[in-house]
């Protein structure tokens, strides 16, 4: 028998020799070399590294950092609210509403954010005053502060992108879910609130974190319309002390801090929403369900029905 089947099978435990992963060693060597070259050249660079912490904590820099966060949060919030509304409008059976929403996305997503900022910034050239004729009016320049220009320019642009994210989320919900909602007599608005939106969340949430990280950096565009976020604060600082590279490095450090914090937040939010209850393989029964529920605080099963155990 052994002659036919090949070599005799040795007795006892047969040791396993792992494959040599040469590729890893080679790539590690190349990367190490590049890092050494980079560090060496940085040591020769005309940058006073020791001064960066000082600029990092400059009052002007800190205020700029707060303004960056403020603008990003407000723009993202506006983007989410308008984006959801526009996405719902795109599902409307009323063709006027549907195509207005399409056109809104077409315009605000199509034009560069920088161009939109400039247009809002220069609005007073086209309209001296804003308001309703004979009722009230205000001077455009008094309304269009740098902050408002930033919010309109970046927030509306974001809302157009976000509407597409929400739309993809809606489309991810099986049509049978909507029919089931109709069949028990839910109105379309109820089906949206109770069935479609909650299930679309799983698809909508992850890109939201991505968008916010982009928004944090995107607020730098608002510097061109005079909003004192991190970039404009930095240029203010270095035009006074001429320590350009050091100031920019401090700003870069702030962006890294903000983006890192946002990434951590995104990680936790994603983890919370990732429990896909329509996919049994993504969780074990019982415990995971109860944990994810108590975390979401949406359903309080144990409270409502203490008698039934999972």
Partner 1 sequence: MSSPLVRALNVHKRFGRLEVLKGINLDVEAGQVVCLLGPSGGGKSTFLRCLNHLEKIDAGSIWVDGVPVGYRLDGGKFHEIRERDVALQRTHIGMVFQRFNLFANRTAIENVMEGPVYVLRQSASAARETAERLLTQVGMMNWADRYPAQLSGGQQQRVAIARSLAMNPKLILFDEPTSALDPELVGEVLSVMRDLAQGGMTMIVVTHEVGFAREVADKAVFMFDGTLVEEGAPAEVFSNPRHERTQQFLSKVL
141 binds partner 1 (CB under 8 A): no
Find the shortest distance in angstroms from Cβ 185 to partner 1.
Answer: 3
Listed ranges 17-25, 76-84, 130-138, 184-192: which one lies at the site for partner 1 (CB under 8 A): 184-192
41 binds partner 1 (CB under 8 A): no
Find the shortest distance in angstroms from Cβ 88 to partner 1.
Answer: 14
126 binds partner 1 (CB under 8 A): no
259 binds partner 1 (CB under 8 A): no
303 binds partner 1 (CB under 8 A): no
DSSP string, the chain: -HHHH-SPPPSS----PPPP-HHHHHHHHHHHHHHHHHHHHHHHSS--GGGHHHHHT-HHHHHHHHHHHHHHHHHHHHHHHHHHHHHHHHT-S-HHHHHHHHHHHHHHHHS-HHHHHHHHHTHHHH-SEEEETTTEEEEHHHH--HHHHHIIIIIHHHHHHHHHHHHHHHHTS-HHHHHHHHHTT--HHHHIIIIIHHHHHHHHHHHHHHHHHHHHHHGGGGGGGT--SHHHHHHHHHHHH--HHHHHHHHHHHHHHHHHHHHHHHHHHHHHH---TT-GGGS-STHHHHHHHHHHTS--HHHH-TT---
Listed ranges 29-37, 67-75, 144-152, 298-306: which one lies at the site for partner 1 (CB under 8 A): 298-306
Total count of residues recorded for the chain: 310
* Residues of this chain, 194-213, that bind partner 1 according to CB under 8 A: 194-195, 198-199
180 binds partner 1 (CB under 8 A): yes
Q: Tell me the per-residue interface mask from 216 to 255 with partner 1, x by CB under 8 A, - otherwise.
A: ----------------------------------------
Using CB under 8 A, pick the residue from 92, 190, 214, 235 that binds partner 1: 190
Q: Which is nearer to partner 1, 46 or 183 (CB)?
A: 183
171 binds partner 1 (CB under 8 A): no
Residues of this chain that interact with partner 1 (CB under 8 A) are: 93, 174, 176-177, 179-188, 190, 194-195, 198-199, 277-280, 285, 289, 299, 301, 304-305, 308-310
């Amino acid at each position: 028998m052994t002659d036919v089947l090949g070599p005799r099978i040795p007795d006892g435990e047969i040791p396993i020799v792992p494959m040599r992963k040469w590729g890893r060693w080679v790539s590690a060597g190349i990367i190490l070399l590049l890092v050494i070259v980079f560090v060496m050249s940085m040591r020769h660079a005309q940058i006073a590294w020791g001064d960066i912490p000082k600029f990092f904590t400059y009052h002007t820099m800190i205020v700029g950092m707060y303004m960056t966060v403020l603008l990003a949060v407000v723009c993202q919030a506006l983007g989410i609210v308008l984006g959801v509304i526009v996405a719902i409008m795109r599902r409307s059976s009323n063709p006027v509403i549907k195509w207005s929403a399409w056109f809104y996305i077409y315009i605000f997503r199509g034009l560069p954010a920088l161009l939109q900022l400039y247009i809002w910034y220069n609005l007073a050239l086209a309209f001296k005053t804003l308001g309703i004729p004979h009722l009230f009016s205000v001077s455009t320049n008094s309304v269009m502060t740098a902050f408002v220009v930033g919010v309109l320019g970046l927030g509306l642009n974001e809302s157009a992108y976000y509407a597409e994210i929400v739309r993809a989320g809606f489309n991810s919900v099986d049509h049978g879910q909507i029919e089931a909602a109709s069949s028990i007599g839910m109105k379309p608005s109820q089906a949206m609130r109770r069935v479609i939106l909650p299930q679309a969340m799983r698809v909508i949430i992850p890109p939201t974190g991505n968008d916010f990280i982009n928004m944090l950096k995107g607020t730098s565009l608002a510097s061109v319309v005079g909003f004192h976020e991190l970039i404009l604060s930095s240029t203010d600082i270095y035009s006074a002390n001429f320590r350009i590279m050091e100031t920019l490095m401090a700003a870069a450090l702030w962006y890294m801090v903000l983006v890192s914090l946002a990434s951590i937040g995104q990680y936790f939010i994603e983890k919370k929403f990732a429990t896909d209850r329509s996919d049994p393989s993504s969780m074990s029964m019982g415990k995971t369900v109860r944990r994810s529920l108590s975390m979401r605080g949406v359903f309080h099963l144990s409270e409502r029905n203490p008698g039934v155990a999972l």
